[in-house]
Chains A and B, each alone.
Chain A
């Protein structure tokens, strides 16, 4: 446990020194502040920001994570020749990356809201959901980055897979779902749809956010089904659990590969 803390400490100082993370926090700070300046009030700012969060956080987390791990190869090899457990090292590496990325987002997106305040109590719930989804997406896509970096030896190939995976979840998946909907338009698809949403973490986060915005009525019949399902206690529990599984599964898989990996 003590060693984990030390590994996290070295990695944190390394990540902060690379200045990427500072740019990342500044980006959210500037964008959120700009949204406040341009479009009246916290409601509009929240809606625009959530669209950004769903695209940018997965992209940066998976790219920065993959790139960082390939560059940290020498660091990992050095530590593995020292009395350090692989489990400890893996946990430390992950925390040392997911922590600053989450903190950068929370600070960047959170500060303008703290400064301007929110207009209604319901906006506070939305803000919390937004920040929580942002952190969960960071954890999920950092875990996927770890899985990629452990699986592929070659840096270029690893980065390629990272971009493809992001494209798949952020863009392609929805297209495929639409195609499916169109093809099976004659059948009741509500329940398969919910299952499909659970299989994509970005969609999961999007549905959760839309429901808190109370705009699900705009999504028609499907939206009503979602509202009915995700609005219920079971729905909230299930979707949170699904996001939890999305953090744990790639992390566990990556750890199993890391334990057996040859350096």
Chain B
């Protein structure tokens, strides 16, 4: 669905993405994990076209993105911090986006009802709490039934009830064929949701594979432990051909092609 090839991005002297390769399969949930400042949000913004990479390219469903914008019709995005025009209400923002996308009839308003947001829609967004804004951000992301949903720390700031509503929704849509890219620091959540994991470190993919592969490689039954071990493991140890038979490029530990076809 999405091929990321050798993406480079610098902010001043800081190299945020260093030749990052990643392939995201259709109809899967790919979790991008990694320590703070490892380039997760920058990668997501590059896919959205919010930042312009200095090198490399991204192919979205066969189309190379180079100043393209039509493909965003097929993307829903939920940013880390929901930022909306201050003096608009949620209803006005939703109306505006509907208008921009040519007023499609087939809208997914399931989350709107599930989050019980009707009473909040008329209030100016700046008066709403962070959690409520986050919910509205989720509603907006799912509203147009996109093929790809990009969720940057979707459950941060949500209460447990809202968070499980959102997680159930993600799994349902995944089963219906939607592709997900999400970042999170909550390992139990990733264990629940993710099919594939891309572990970012210093702007490159340090490891990519399915959750079962990660556990098998590290020999850890829990994802949290497995990821922690990936961090502490010596890099050469990862580079050696692993027991489960993946071909791994020695220089760059794991490249996009290390994602095995799903069983």
Contacts and interface: CB of A to CB of B under 8 A. Distances in A.
A187 interface: no
A184 interface: no
A214 interface: no
Interface residues on A, range: 20 to 34
B69 A83 contact: yes
Interface in A44-96: 71-75, 77-86
Contacts of A80: 48-50
A81 B48 contact: yes
Interface in B32-85: 45, 48-52, 67, 69-73, 75, 77, 79, 83-85
B51 A84 contact: no
B237 interface: no
Nearest to B84: A74
Interface stretch (A24-32, A169-177, A255-263): A255-263
Contact of B52 (A71, A77, A262): A262
B142 to A, nearest CB: 14
Contacts of A261: 52
Interface string A134-174: 00000000000000000000000000000000000000000
A237 to B, nearest CB: 37
Contacts of B73: 83
B93 A78 contact: yes
B87 interface: yes
A260 B52 CA distance: 6
Nearest to B51: A262
Given A3-B100, A82-B97, A259-B67, A74 B51 contact: no
Contacts of A81: 48, 50, 72, 75, 77, 79
Given A83-B73, A259-B67, A262-B50, A17 B85 contact: no
Nearest to B150: A81
A14 B79 CA distance: 23
Contacts, number: 63
A252 interface: no
A221 interface: no
B93 A83 contact: no
B96 interface: yes
B85 A14 contact: yes
A253 interface: no
A263 B75 CA distance: 17
A238 to B, nearest CB: 36
A20 interface: no
Interface in B79-125: 79, 83-88, 93, 96-97, 99-101
B85 A82 contact: no
6 contacts: A6-B100, A18-B87, A74-B86, A80-B48, A81-B79, A82-B72
Interface of B: 11, 45, 48-52, 67, 69-73, 75, 77, 79, 83-88, 93, 96-97, 99-101
Which 9 A-B pairs give the minimum distances between C-beta atoms?
A262-B51, A83-B73, A74-B83, A75-B85, A83-B72, A263-B50, A81-B77, A85-B69, A82-B100
Given A78-B83, A78-B84, A262-B50, 20 more contacts: A6-B100, A72-B85, A74-B83, A74-B84, A77-B50, A77-B79, A79-B100, A81-B50, A81-B77, A81-B79, A83-B70, A83-B73, A83-B101, A84-B72, A85-B69, A86-B69, A260-B52, A262-B11, A262-B45, A262-B51
